[in-house]
Structure 1
Amino acid sequence: MSDEPDLHNGATRSTSHATPEGVVDLNSYRGARDPLPITFHRTELDQILWVYGRMVGDGDWRDYALDHLIDKAVFSVFKRSGEMPLYRIEKNPKLAAKQGAYSVVNAHGMILKRGHDLKQVLKVFDKLLKLVKS
């Protein structure tokens, strides 16, 4: 949808990036538009949702929220939907060359783990083995 009115009788916009054949030059299109928000890739979401499903099965988590912002993507997990998130799994591409693009942040804002590999960062949610007496 657009805020601009429809053009009638074959009129064209002067700011159009399309050629007469309907092909769009991506360089001029990307430069003319607002930057797209940062999102999680399908494989990243698969890894996150696998951990989320395990934690829901254990009764630790009950709800989640996805936020795609201009500078980062955030997957927030909740114990109850009306509360503050217990954890935030963040993807910040600006930090990819330095500390790593992925981080896990707790409810108090403390970074629990950060790194370049999402699978390694998500290991912060692995539970310690407990001794079971028979």
Structure 2
Amino acid sequence: MDSHAAQESIDKQISAHESAIQDLRTLRNTHAGISKLPIEVLSEILLLARLPPGTSYQERRENRGWLNVAGVCRNWREITLNAPRIWDTLNTPELNTLEWAETLIARSKDVPLHQRFKTWKSP
């Protein structure tokens, strides 16, 4: 076996082990106390983690604000992405991109959408 083939074989083994470790972490998380809460209760808790009015979402990973809760585990991500009330506010002057506005609207599904506008005073 040449060097390249050996490295590919080792990379496949590493990938398999990493996948197994991720599966074990997911299984471990299912036994955490908070994971036993009903989805409705947990989504209400995650809703409380939203940014307060007037605080802007920043699209840089290190400053995602309340969206960091979606990165805690697969379950929280799934709940966060599928809880329309978490996505029901368009803070118009603080939207960074049209794509983000479209994402908010799509994820808010059929709940009432709230818009915040900022007015500017002329000098």
TM-score range, shorter chain: under 0.3
Q: RCO higher in 1 or 2 (8 Å CA, sep ≥ 6)?
A: 2
Higher helix share: 2
Higher Rg of the two aligned structures: 1
TM-score normalised by structure 1 residue count: 0.26
Higher strand share: 1
TM-score normalised by structure 2 residue count: 0.28
